[in-house]
Amino acid sequence: MFGNLFEEDKSTVSTSQYGRGKKLKTNGLELPAPREFTNLSGIRNQGGTCYLSSLLQTLHFTPEFREALFSLGPEELGSLEDKDKPDAKVRIIPLQLQRLFAQLLLLDQEAASTTDLTDSFGWTNEEEMRQHDVQELNRILFSALETSLVGTSGHDLIHRLYHGTIVNQIVCKECKNISERQEDFLDLTVAVKNVSGLEDALWNMYVEEEIFDCDNLYHCGSCDQLVKAAKSAKLRKLPPFLTISLLRFNFDFVKCERYKDISCYTFPVRVNLKPFCEQSELDDMEYMYDLFSVIIHKGGCYGGHYHVYIKDVDHLGNWQCQEEISDTDVTLKVPQNEEEVDDPLVVLKTILLQEEASQIPVDQLGQKLLKKTGISWNKKYKKQHGPLRKFLQLHPQIFLLSTDESTVSLLRNHFAQAPSDLQSHAQLLDTLASEPPGLNDNTGCPHWFDINDSKVHPIKEKAITQQFQGKESAYMLFYRKATLQRPSEARANPRYRVPCHLLKEMDAANILLQKRRAECDSANSTFELHLHLGPHYRFFNGALHPAVSQTESMWDLTFDKRKTLGDLRQSIFQLLEFWEGDMVLSVAKRVPAGLHVYHTLEGDELTLCEAEVADGEDIFVWNGVEVGGVQIQTGFDCEPLLLHILHLELSGEGSKSEQLVESPHVFPANAEVGTVFTALGTPVGTILMNNVESADEGCWTAIPKEDMKKTFREQGLRNGSLILVQDSDTDNSLLPKQGRWTNSMNELNWLEVKNFCQSESEEKQVQIAVSMHTVVFDIRIKAIKELKLMKELAENSCLRPIDRNGKLLCPVPDTSTLEEAEVKMGSSVGLCLGKPPTSSQLFLFFALETDIHPGAEMEVIVEETLSVRDCLKIMLQKSGQQGEMWHLRKMDWCYEAGEPLCEEDATLKELMIRSGDTLLLTEGKLPPSGHLKMPIWWYQPARLSGHREGWDRLNCAFSQGSIWRDAPTQGAPGPEPAEVSLLYLGDVEISEEATLVELKSQAMALPSASKLAVQSTALLRVWTVESKRPSRLLRTNWRQLKEYRLGRRAELCLELLQKEEDLGPRDVLLRTQLRIPGERAYSVATDLVWDTTRGWTAGSLRQRVADVYSLPVEKIEIAKYFPEKFEWLPISSWNQQVAKRKKKKNQDTLQGGPYYLKDGDTIGIKNLLFDDNDDFSTIRDDIGKENQKRLAQEKKKSREVQRAQSSDVFSNAGMPTRPRGPEASLSIHVASFR
């Protein structure tokens, strides 16, 4: 019915070996972990069987069901040993269920396996990986059990425990005749939509009457006429165990899509069903039912995960939770100051009480919290209380959310409360509000556990309230009659009522497990230690080094990690008969400079594990003071750093040569940077550093003189750091550009090979044990054998790595090892048809630039000596394109067209084209070498005074097709919209040697530009265009274009000025707008030039703005506008002070985050003498945000539709993605026993 509607989220799917296919079932090498402190066993997920695990745990913790099943012996069910005999009647499903329950009760393992049970269901690997609805499974499993138990004493097991009846009655208002119809049920399905909780739903179903009258009369069989009547339903027979299914998944017939109802739906721990029953003469306790299991679904209607909260009726597990602090103690403690108010309820209610408006947006509430407390919700409360919106949802007794959950207000009874009362009683309100009706925790402290696949955790009963609503919420409820009592001998006794043959089987299995664990523990309890003998070491060049050889100075010792440090010391004394005096054992570590001692191992009574000694640890054996007469400094602070120092080489006469030399030097990490001069024997000069962690090869930073007293570590220097020492008059052109990279890889020991050949095979994928030195050819041949493919594929197949998106990458050569082919251990590769390229060939992807999307690439194998022109011809022929107006571009890392391959006669090898690269077929001929071809646009800020009329005339003069976006939206004056209007003038082909002035002249010579009537090129400002907006300002008219590094895909726009300008390198051009007091609008924009010679500080900018507008600097507020977000970010000196405390000194500029100020940015100015509110936004910003929100929702819907339409694309291609498969019904295959 639901198919894989409930497929698991990637983040929650078990990654254990048990979900990877049937062939791994026989893998007995993996020793199961013992039970954890709860002494309860979980169930391993087979890939998509969390729904099955949750239901099985519920049945297992239903003692009456479990014991009824155990009461059926082999004489009735048969034996599993006889299941393969042709004439034997073996009821496999109940037998496997018995065995599973026995394992959950008695077998000492963290999690049991359900593979044998699912085999008895007749499920395949595919069905085990597919998720299903747990409510559907509940009905199908009960049906399968009833069929399996036909002819046994347990034939009525399901009927006896779960069967109930409902009576539907229609009463005629005329003759009082009653028409009845009885219905059987194993579970009750109740509505969630528009219902507050379980009792409300039961009231609607079994108390409320439906009246037939007016146009909807009832035909009475007794009266034989249409009459008024009343229809009702009642519970006639109640079962011992009541199962309730919540209808959380519905279908929206307007939007034609499924959705999950995540609204608040309460349910009590004890429910009284007397009002809903037909007969109510019995004692009240006969109608009382206690909650003992809640199956929870986490996720949406197209993906999720199941786990279960279960009450341990027989106290089989260890339930240990910290005792709660008394509510009385909590409420009596009144907060002394603001620092003590850590309760989010107190803070949020205080904020809402101070608001003039009755309700505010939830997002704005988070902002006000940040403003009031100085810390955001996510940083202070999210880890403990979850997201802000969900926290508000969980306290409906205090907060009232709107229907779309976008705004929040206090309920009236809380809103009317005085702030003083609020503060004194805040935590009391919190206590009262956190206890919904029906849930209490004062009756014998019931033992509840959260069982999530393999993991079992104790929880408190009140944790159930967190599952009333949200994406993670209750989906099935299980109640048991309150009158059902368990015998005292069953309490904390897992062996109670377990059949003898299963007790013997579990005892034998536990003995075997203990034996295997002991063997494994013995094999894994030893590790290797590397003993470095102090008398064989010497200290020089800042670190310890072997005096003779490494083999004589270091001994390898295999030692039991369960023994103590004292035992280790005694063993070393016995090995070293010559040792005299004290023996100190210290942890050492090899560093690039040599060996360094870190800390001494103390506490002879501690085991090696307790002392945190690791396998392969280096232990330095010495007297604890000196080595070879030299006193040794130990610890992390004085760790030796190997630095590479560049300095001018001195000749014999003392003159300096012009070539820098690099020499390694070792310094303690806590030494002062100035000691570099002492080590080199040079006078004080300048030190520049280039950290190896910098991504910029030429990122050199001069160390100020006042920082020479700082240590190397404080300056951020590490092993391998490069520093340059030079005199103050040394030419900076001597600075080198050197880069360092470090790589690390987490190695596994297997490779997954997927079958992408078109031949039939029982296996779709196989895991091959490999190492980094395994040859690819051996892996391919072994995969063909294990996949049971034709031997002919050995001559015509290859292995291709698969990336995380399921794309097949270029084949790897058969002769290379995994390390040489750069294939990661634990990754997936595809076995595909076709030979891999030879060492002189390239495997390339290519696609049309107009059709760039994953899956559109074509493949080709070419010689690396092939020219670009010939490669282009081959790709055009293979793609079916014609003509000569084409060129090739290389796709960049962000899946966009990069730089073109300009040298058409060059070979692919010369242009550094590698196998796996993607080339794009782009229409259009390339400009000659050394030339640029750039689109030119006309740009005039629409809000600058004196230019509106000309802009309107230009809009009329040009065709609409040349405008990216129309003029700004009408409304209140404000900053430019997110996408500005640009008019296309044409393309300019120009030499890279040309100057900016020549570019302006050539642009003005375009036919379209003649309509602009520009008097002089000096009145033109040139910008680069990025994301359809002016981006970088090009300065200095006589500078050559190649110096700007525009690139071959650059686009430029021209802006008309009122007068000539000459911007210096330190000048920043900003567009300032003064806010109109009393209106959400700004005056026309004005260009402001800000000299940043004294720094990019907020104070400097504020002073410049104040000078231009003739306002006191303390009476203005300024903010930067972010047009893409329609948001304003205030700029103040306070922001800078915060930044200084949290960031490095180099980052305390407006150039860095969060402002990233640059040329062309809009700055809003507010005169506090007339306008003192905090709001910088305009009406256009509100409209823009609404449009963005609407577009985001439309895109989301479009993606969902597209995902639904193309859900089977990757599965048909064999890609390892997680598409939403076709709906498949759930079934359990049962043999006939009638």
**Residues tagged active-site:** 50, 305
Residue with the two structure tokens 């639901």: 2
Cα dist from 985 to 313, 522, 706, 959, whole Å: 81, 81, 55, 11
Q: Which of 236, 71, 238, 97 is nearest to 162 (CA)?
A: 238
Q: How far apart are CA 542 and CA 666, in angstroms?
A: 6
How crowded is residue 1011: how many other Cβ atoms within 10 Å of its Cβ?
13
| DSSP secondary structure of 546-607 | ESS-HHHHEEEEEEETTSBHHHHHHHHHHH-TT--S--EEEEEEEETTEEEEEEE---TTSB
Q: How far apart are CA 841 and CA 836, in angstroms?
A: 9
- Given a contact cutoff of 8 angstroms between Cβ atoms, the answer to whether 723 and 692 are in contact is no
The tokens describing 64, both together, are 């009456």
The tokens describing 1109, both together, are 């507008």
Q: How far apart are CA 1069 and CA 1091, in angstroms?
A: 9
Could you give the angle at the alpha carbon of 135 between the alpha carbons of 132 and 137, nearest 5°? 55
- Given a contact cutoff of 8 angstroms between Cβ atoms, the answer to whether 185 and 206 are in contact is no
Pairing assessment for the beta strands 584-591 and 617-622 based on DSSP bridges: antiparallel
1169: exposed, middle or buried (Cβ count in 10 Å: 0-12, 13-18, 19+): exposed
Could you give the angle at the alpha carbon of 425 between the alpha carbons of 420 and 429, nearest 5°? 130
The tokens describing 866, both together, are 């092939």
Q: How far apart are CA 499 and CA 917, in angstroms?
A: 65
Q: How far apart are CA 469 and CA 392, in angstroms?
A: 11
Kindly state the helix (H) or strand (E) to which residue 293 belongs, with its residue range: strand 288-300
- Given a contact cutoff of 8 angstroms between Cβ atoms, the answer to whether 1025 and 1051 are in contact is yes
- Given a contact cutoff of 8 angstroms between Cβ atoms, the answer to whether 963 and 988 are in contact is no
Which residues make Cβ contacts (< 8 Å) with residue 1055, sequence separation at least 6? 939, 940, 941, 1020, 1021, 1022, 1023, 1030
- Bond from prior residue into 86 cis (ω within 30 degrees of 0): no
The tokens describing 601, both together, are 């191992």
Q: Which of 1197, 1200, 1192, 1194 is nearest to 303 (CA)?
A: 1200
| CA-CA-CA-CA dihedral for 271, 277, 279, 285, to nearest 10 | -10
| CA-CA-CA-CA dihedral for 1200, 1206, 1212, 1218, to nearest 10 | -10
| DSSP secondary structure of 321-364 | -PPPPPHHHHHH----SGGG---HHHHHHHHHHH-SSS-EEHHH
Residue with the two structure tokens 């009833």: 146
- Given a contact cutoff of 8 angstroms between Cβ atoms, the answer to whether 162 and 241 are in contact is yes
Which residues make Cβ contacts (< 8 Å) with residue 246, sequence separation at least 6? 190, 192, 265, 474, 475, 476, 477
Pairing assessment for the beta strands 526-533 and 617-622 based on DSSP bridges: parallel
Kindly state the helix (H) or strand (E) to which residue 139 belongs, with its residue range: helix 134-148
Q: How far apart are CA 119 and CA 140, in angstroms?
A: 16
Q: How far apart are CA 830 and CA 809, in angstroms?
A: 9
